[in-house]
């Protein structure tokens, strides 16, 4: 008899005839044919290993949504281009009288459009310079008691009828672009100021405390934590202010500030529908274009970490 080595595998013994497990369906062959179902923990570990090797776990998980889609970039500009082209074709075959031709000749349309853009851009710049630093200051501990007073003044500025506010400024500052710009700035401070304060107050206190705990200075916490988290709300307020400025700038003509309001008032005063229609269409197109540009800037400038993944 040949002795067996210690630790050598033994041959499997057949089941005994009287064993109750002889007819059991869970035999060796049935286990071999049964597919193995991994547990959720094993699936997660396998997915993590695949991610570490550089292989995406699935096409849906690997696909990242784009910040600016082609529809966002092309649809609205295409619509505005069609509207402007239709307006130009209508004016090309329209029978204008001498009063309408004089109102639209000698580059009057281009001059009014340029003045309107300048009024909007300059007023928005001063709104940002005033409202954002003021909103930051009013959220600091030493100046928080002044926030209600500043918000009340900003609400008064926007609650006042724009034409009445412009009339008061003309009496105070005289006729010209200065009075028009001052009125537009006062009218548009509220959305930027309120959104700046709301965005900074909405920050999670635990994040701010963690930033201070790692040794960041108050200025560092403001620049690297508070402001980046408040950027979406601040940009929303800037977008609102831009559209408000485009609309309010049409009233600058009553204070001698020029703009597309000149065409609108000329059409109303002289009862010339083509002049009125052109001024109105250009104002609407400019407002929509500014809002579109502001929406793109809002998408691009917002921190990627704050995006909501769907």
Tell me what pLDDT residue 71 has.
84
Tell me what pLDDT residue 95 has.
82
Closest by Cα among 189, 197, 191, 206 to 227: 197
CB neighbour class for 165 (10 Å; exposed up to 12, middle 13-18, buried from 19): buried
Tell me what pLDDT residue 29 has.
46
How many domains is the chain partitioned into structurally?
1
Q: Is residue 299 part of a domain?
A: yes
Can you tell me the distance from the alpha carbon of 161 to that of 159, in angstroms, rounded to the nearest whole number?
6
Q: Is residue 104 part of a domain?
A: no
Tell me what pLDDT residue 160 has.
85
Tell me what pLDDT residue 301 has.
85
Can you tell me the distance from the alpha carbon of 292 to that of 80, in angstroms, rounded to the nearest whole number?
11
Q: Is residue 179 part of a domain?
A: yes
* Close Cβ partners of 161 (under 8 Å, ≥ 6 residues apart): none
Residue 13 DSSP code = P
Angular region, 259: left φ>0, alpha ψ -120 to 50, beta rest? left
Tell me what pLDDT residue 300 has.
87
Q: Is residue 63 part of a domain?
A: no
Closest by Cα among 237, 120, 242 to 181: 120
Q: Is residue 237 part of a domain?
A: yes
Q: Tokens 């089941």 sit at which residue?
A: 15
Can you tell me the distance from the alpha carbon of 120 to that of 146, in angstroms, rounded to the nearest whole number?
29
Q: Is residue 249 part of a domain?
A: yes
24-52 burial string, b = 16+ CB within 10 Å, else e?
A: eeeeeeeeeeeeeeeeeeeeeeeeeeeee
Range of the domain at 120: 115-304
Read off the tokens for 226: 């508070």
* Close Cβ partners of 173 (under 8 Å, ≥ 6 residues apart): 179, 182
Can you tell me the distance from the alpha carbon of 82 to that of 59, in angstroms, rounded to the nearest whole number?
38
Instruction: Please report, in tens digits, the pLDDT of each residue of the chain (310 residues total).
Output: 444 445 445 555 555 444 444 444 444 444 444 444 545 555 455 444 444 444 444 443 344 455 678 888 889 999 999 999 999 998 888 888 888 888 888 888 999 999 999 999 999 999 999 999 999 999 998 898 999 999 998 888 888 888 888 889 999 988 888 999 999 999 999 999 999 999 999 988 898 899 889 989 989 899 899 999 999 999 999 999 999 999 999 999 998 888 999 999 999 998 888 899 999 999 999 999 999 999 998 888 887 766 554 4
Q: Is residue 71 part of a domain?
A: no
Residue 141 DSSP code = G
Q: What is the CATH number of the domain that holds 278?
A: 1.10.3720.10
Angular region, 10: left φ>0, alpha ψ -120 to 50, beta rest? beta
Tell me what pLDDT residue 134 has.
95
Number of Cβ atoms within 10 Å of the Cβ of 112: 25
Tell me what pLDDT residue 285 has.
95
Tell me what pLDDT residue 310 has.
40
Number of Cβ atoms within 10 Å of the Cβ of 284: 15
Kindly report the pTM of this predicted structure.
0.73
Tell me what pLDDT residue 192 has.
95
Tell me what pLDDT residue 62 has.
41
Q: Is residue 231 part of a domain?
A: yes
Q: Tokens 């600058």 sit at which residue?
A: 252
Tell me what pLDDT residue 52 has.
45
Closest by Cα among 259, 210, 305 to 110: 259
Tell me what pLDDT residue 13 has.
53
Q: What is the 3-state secondary structure (H, E, C) of 253-303?
A: HHHCCCCCHHHHHHHHHCCCHHHHHHHHHHHHHHHHHHHHHHHHHHHHHCC
């Amino acid at each position: 008899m040949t002795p067996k080595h210690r630790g050598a595998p033994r041959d499997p013994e057949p089941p005994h005839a009287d064993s109750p497990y002889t007819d059991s369906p869970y035999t060796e062959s049935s286990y071999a044919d049964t597919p193995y179902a991994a547990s959720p923990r094993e699936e997660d570990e396998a997915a993590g290993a695949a991610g570490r090797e550089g292989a995406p776990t699935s096409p849906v998980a690997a696909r990242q949504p784009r910040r600016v889609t082609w529809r966002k970039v092309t649809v609205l500009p295409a619509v505005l281009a069609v509207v402007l082209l239709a307006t130009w074709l209508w004016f090309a075959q329209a029978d204008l009288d001498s009063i309408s031709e004089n109102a639209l000749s000698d580059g009057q349309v281009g001059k009014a459009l340029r003045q309107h853009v300048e009024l909007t851009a300059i007023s928005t710049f001063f709104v940002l310079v005033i409202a954002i630093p003021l909103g930051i200051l009013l959220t600091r501990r030493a100046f928080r008691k002044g926030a209600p007073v500043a918000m009340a003044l900003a609400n008064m500025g926007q609650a006042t009828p724009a034409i009445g506010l412009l009339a008061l400024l003309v009496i105070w500052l005289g006729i010209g672009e200065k009075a028009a710009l001052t009125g537009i700035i006062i009218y548009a401070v509220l959305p930027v100021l309120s959104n700046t304060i709301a965005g900074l107050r909405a920050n999670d206190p635990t994040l701010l405390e963690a930033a201070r705990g790692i040794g960041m200075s108050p200025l560092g916490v403001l620049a690297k934590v508070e402001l980046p988290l408040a950027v979406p709300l601040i940009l929303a307020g800037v977008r609102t202010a831009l559209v408000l400025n485009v609309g309010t700038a049409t009233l600058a003509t009553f204070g001698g500030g020029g703009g597309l309001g000149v065409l609108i008032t000329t059409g109303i005063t002289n009862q010339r529908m083509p002049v009125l229609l052109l001024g109105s269409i250009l104002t609407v197109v400019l407002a929509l274009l500014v809002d579109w540009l502001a929406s793109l800037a809002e998408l691009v400038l917002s921190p990627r970490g704050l995006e909501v993944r769907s």
